[in-house]
Structure 1
């Protein structure tokens, strides 16, 4: 029999829209970041195993995780079935977690009592009337700093010493259909929800997503919805949420009823989706280290009359894959990684939602492991759909100029923060979209476009004589024979008198895992000695521009030599902002480049922070390394990146002259000079 307090609540609580301020007020959430900055985790976390929780307990405890972790990550739900192992990430150096206490199942409600004073109360819902009430309750509870609970869960809470206020009772609402429930959410609660983030989560007992990233929604005051875009009415309602979100400052977390119907619905509004319906502990791992340890970039090979091949490994945009399956694939392939160049797609959003995960891969990478952004930048977005599926017609999705600019600007910021220089696009890009990437992602070397079903309109291009869009020979190649046959035909048709460039993407879920790619390389080398070379994606695009006399990063060229007025000059052109060239001479310092022979110079880039003390930068050129001509001056460098283009200058030598604060020694993270032969 239910307790008297439960009965009284059921009688007297009136369901009204929430009045408390949004929970997001407690978070550091800078403009231009669709995910907030969480504090570093506590020295010791409380931990519960998800498999010990009933379905509606998962709803409650995931919300508790978000509410508790908003001010200081202290609670995590662990997945006993995680492919990489339940505790693997917590025990990984650099994850941000030092220790944790795993609580037994029978003490789980004591955890609620422990943190009850930080909560405003509970939001009651009844999933027997519709499972979509779970999402409505999660949304309301996130706004109210409360817990979503069923009456059965509340009955288990009360004996443990926390007697919460019922801030909203949703059990008397008359709605039963998904559209009616989310129409109610949109009318009554969406105005108070953050518009920078939305979570799409299955609320079903069977096959549902009852805890992944719901903690992020609770912490941020984000709406949680589940609408099927294959249904016209539900697609229209889902689109109405995306329409209110600012392209360039918003993402979706979770997943959809089908991939293309959901992704294309969000894409119309310039909203990328970070696939995360199996991502654990988002509000814990988001509090990981803020410094991203971008790997150094080796010099590219000299350009020769060879076939240069770039092999891209799929699905890194999917952060649950990065957390689970990729960790297993990465470690199992340790004995072969490094033998040939492999290009791993990864999500730039990890700089916010899992920096420790990103750093793990970066720290353990070989010089032949190159990381590139998954499709199509900051969140999975299909700017132009080439595969017709139910709810996803063929054609361009993102067409409005403000949305193109918003999404590509966001992509530019996040790929720069993550140190990613190449983006894979699914599927295609219109001329306006390509121009948007070129305009708003100045740090990118290139992008690939898919070639599903060999659609003739999907083509390669070069934007503004700078940014190359490369058409993949085969997208999502699933078998060795398929890709080997295509490469063999290309090699036999090649004239051998000029470089040839071929790009492929591997379907990581099937046969073409790293070991098989290495086997493919070794077999081709035996069949066609000295004719083929697998290369990093950043090298691929620079080599290709070099071959076509377009500007490329001369600091990657093996002929380029660097020296400086003081300090270790090589640290300035190692391709990573994680290391800094520090000049010991104050006032003015210089960084000099010898390209080996004259080049046509067009642009330079300097990466630096406020603490580097840079107060001015100028580029000078010279024919002999003695007499110098100033071709550009930046008197107010703007961290994190100062860059400038100038009228083409033919010169063998260049130097960056740096003015530092108050004549003190300064530093910079990285420098790049762009030119052509």
Structure 2
């Protein structure tokens, strides 16, 4: 079981008091009054964006207009984020909201690695003026009186080539020269949008995003014309997911994790946690054709009379985690002093290749990356229709090759024995092994082999506050056999990133017996296959 990314990004998300609305007497060009749905069929998703392995990307980036998130109110962040998406559709000159911390790492790296020029902007109005020619108008919402009006507005911005404007900002936006009101959804929600604009949205991407979030993900939604909703775990939610095309993804995050992933998987859709991911429109606009490669892998050194251990940190499937919290985790000065494994999303190849390359370039020889659950996105493979899983795995194999990853962390429930599924995963040429972590299940440390001899390795310990502390992990590992010829001679420790940091892991490492060998996940998989695969 995972813990949703919330703690470290709440401040960056700008969640808090909303701007007060104003009485509006502005006459609209297009209002939110219901109209004949057939007329809205004229608003169709006909745009063609560049595509990476799978995900859509912005126009090739050359320069960034950078604005500090500290200079923006909550509603101004919404406006700028939707402007980000519009601009990225056609312009090499784009917008970046600097949140500080890891956010600033990516702009600095894009400047030094790819020659992206950076220009600072002080206000949203300056950005609107600079990009006025890219804006056809605005969609009016009022988050104070109707939170779901923001969800409705976000969905319409891409198809209408408009920015989302809260009622409190309308007068200022008109003064800035954007006077065409494309739609008024102050009293509407996403269900009304879904019914009245049936052909306006991408059929390969939807986004589940709470209206309490300001700028995060709204830029990429606008770029891709993704339908946006936040309806809880309801039958209507399932209708939206089932209406998407094969190989579709749902970005964002739902209200309840297990139902969220189950609903999507059953519809053949993969979740990609991104609800707190900022700047995906410009980050996806980097086109990196040179190979992105991890550090040279270590060569296993087989020993007798030892117990092998590897550590793997959770939550790397979450793009927001990869762009923020993992960078902080990775910056710990003790990193590199012991062998360590990190989960990361292969989808970064499309969505943020600069960030993926930064991690690989800054890794030590003791750092190794594994694809997060359950591949290029978060799904329960056991719940996916067979045909959908087959398509997903074929595409995943390409992602794995592009991202130089060869191990996948599987997160599922009650599926450890489903060798019919794991054989399919391990038949892929770029996947050498699976690491299974059960959803809410006690880890048992089992090791199984696919028909082609590749291993499926279950976690044996969870280093997780409240479940297993450092002292227990040390005791458990030290009590196990020093016998690489037996499955009991191997321990995979799954680390809960939100409650245990590198200092916690080092405490375990320092407490292990002299005959315990801590190795990276790739070495661990190779040793398991070499020592147990023929038995």
TM-score range, shorter chain: 0.7 to 0.9
Q: Which has the larger radius of gyration?
A: 1
Q: Which runs of 5+ in 2 are unaligned?
A: 1-20
State how far apart, in whole Å, the 1-side matches of 2:46 and 2:105 are. 30
Q: TM-score, normalised by structure 1?
A: 0.68
Q: CA, structure 1 residues 308+268, in 2 after alignment: closer, same or farther (shift >3 Å)?
A: same
Task: Tell me the CA shift for residue 476 of structure 1.
Answer: 4.9
Shift of 1:199: 1.4
Change (3 A) 1:281 1:355: same
Residues in 1 aligned to 2:69 and 2:327: alpha-carbon distance in whole angstroms: 20
Partner of 1:99: 117
Is the 8 Å Cα contact of residues 376 and 382 (structure 1) preserved in structure 2? yes
Distance in 2, Cα, partners of 1:497 & 1:447: 20
- Deviation of 1:212 after TM superposition, in Å, equals 0.7
What displacement does 1:374 show?
A: 0.8
1:545 corresponds to 2:529: yes
Cα RMSD after superposing both structures: 3.0
Q: How does 1:606-625 map to 2 (within 5 A)?
A: none
Choose which of 461, 464, 479 in structure 1 pairs with 2:448: 461
Matches within 5 A, 1:196-595: 196-203=204-211, 208-229=212-233, 235-247=234-246, 249-290=247-288, 291-305=290-304, 306-333=306-333, 336-383=334-381, 396-398=382-384, 400-428=385-413, 429=415, 430-439=418-427, 441-451=428-438, 454=441, 460-478=447-465, 479-491=469-481, 494=482, 500-511=489-500, 513-524=501-512, 528-529=513-514, 531-550=515-534
Is the strand fraction higher in 1 or 2?
Answer: 1
In structure 1, list runs of 5 or more residues that go unmatched: 176-180, 230-234, 384-395, 551-675
Q: Is the 8 A contact 2:203 2:243 kept in 1?
A: yes
In the TM superposition, residue 187 of structure 1 has moved relative to its aligned partner by 2.3
Q: CA deviation at 1:19?
A: 5.6
Tell me by how many angstroms 1:265 deviates.
1.9
Aligned residues: 502
Alignment TM-score, normalising by the size of structure 2 = 0.85
TM-superposed CA distance for 1:504, in Å, is 1.3
Structure 2: distance between partners of 1:15 and 1:37: 33
Query: In the alignment, which of 132, 141, 159 is matched to residue 125 of structure 1?
Result: 141
Tell me if the contact between 2:66 and 2:98 (Cα under 8 Å) persists in the aligned partners. Answer: no
Checking the alignment, whether the CA contact within 8 Å between 2:313 and 2:341 is kept in structure 1 is yes
3-state secondary structure, aligned to 2:27: helix
Q: Which residue of 1 aligns with 2:172?
A: 156
- The aligned residue for residue 65 of structure 1 is 84
Higher relative contact order (CA 8 A, sep 6+): 2
Distance in 2 between the 1:74 and 1:269 partners? 38
SS at match of 1:426: strand
Deviation at 1:497, TM superposition (A): 6.8
Return the alpha-carbon distance in structure 1 between the equivalents of residues 32 and 337 of structure 2: 66
Q: Is the 8 A contact 2:311 2:341 kept in 1?
A: yes
1:88 to 92, 99, 105: 105
- CA drift of 1:15 comes to 5.2
Equivalent-residue separation in structure 2 for 1:92 and 1:144 (angstroms): 33
Q: Which of 182, 185, 192 in structure 2 is aligned with 1:184?
A: 192
**Corresponding residue number in structure 2 for 1:46:** 65
**Counterpart-to-counterpart distance in 2, 1:466 and 1:21:** 52
- Judge conservation of contact 1:60–1:148 (CA < 8 Å) in 2: yes
Give SS of 2:199's match.
helix
- Per-residue displacement from partner, 1:390-411 (whole Å, max 9, x unpaired)? xxxxxx532x211221332232
